[in-house]
Chains A and B, each alone.
Chain A
Amino acid sequence: MFSSRIWREKPQRYRLEANKCKKTGKVFFPPRLANGLQNREFEKVYLPREGTVVTFTVIHVAPGPFTDEVPYAVGIVDLGPAKITCQIVDISPEEIKTGMKVRLEFRCIQKNGAGGVLSYGYKAVPVCE
Chain B
Amino acid sequence: MVADPLRLFDCSPVTDGAAAVILCPLEKAKSLTKKRIVKVAGTGHATDSIALHSREKITFYNSAAKSAAQALEMAGKKREDIHFAEVHDCFSIAEICVLESMGFYEEGKAGKAIAAGETQLTGKLPVNTSGGLKSKGHPVGATGVAQIVELVEQIRGEAGERQVKDANIGLAQNMGGTAASSIVHILEGC
Contacts and interface: CB of A to CB of B under 8 A. Distances in A.
B3 A59 contact: yes
A58 B58 CA distance: 17
Interface in B65-124: none
B2 A83 contact: no
Contacts of A76: 52-53, 58
**B interface majority secondary structure:** loop
Contacts of B161: none
A83 B3 contact: no
B31 interface: no
B54 A60 contact: no
Contact of A83 (B5, B6, B54): B54
A57 B4 contact: yes
A58 B51 CA distance: 18
A88 interface: no
B3 A84 contact: no
Q: Name A's interface SS.
A: strand
Q: Size class of B's contact patch?
A: 10 to 19
B32 interface: no
B20 interface: no
Contacts of B6: 57
Contacts of B3: 57-61
Interface in B1-48: 1-6
A29 B53 CA distance: 9
Interface residues on A, range: 10 to 19
B60 to A, nearest CB: 14
A54 B56 CA distance: 12
B138 to A, nearest CB: 15
A60 B8 CA distance: 10
Contact of A85 (B1, B4, B53): B53
A85 B51 contact: yes
Contacts of A83: 53-54
A55 to B, nearest CB: 7
Given A28-B54, A58-B3, A60-B2, 16 more contacts: A29-B51, A29-B53, A29-B54, A57-B5, A57-B6, A58-B1, A60-B3, A61-B2, A76-B52, A82-B53, A82-B54, A83-B53, A83-B54, A84-B53, A85-B51, A85-B53
Interface of B: 1-6, 51-54, 58
Interface of A: 28-30, 54-55, 57-61, 76, 82-85
Closest 10 CB pairs of A and B: A83-B53, A58-B4, A60-B1, A76-B53, A61-B2, A57-B3, A85-B53, A59-B3, A57-B4, A60-B2
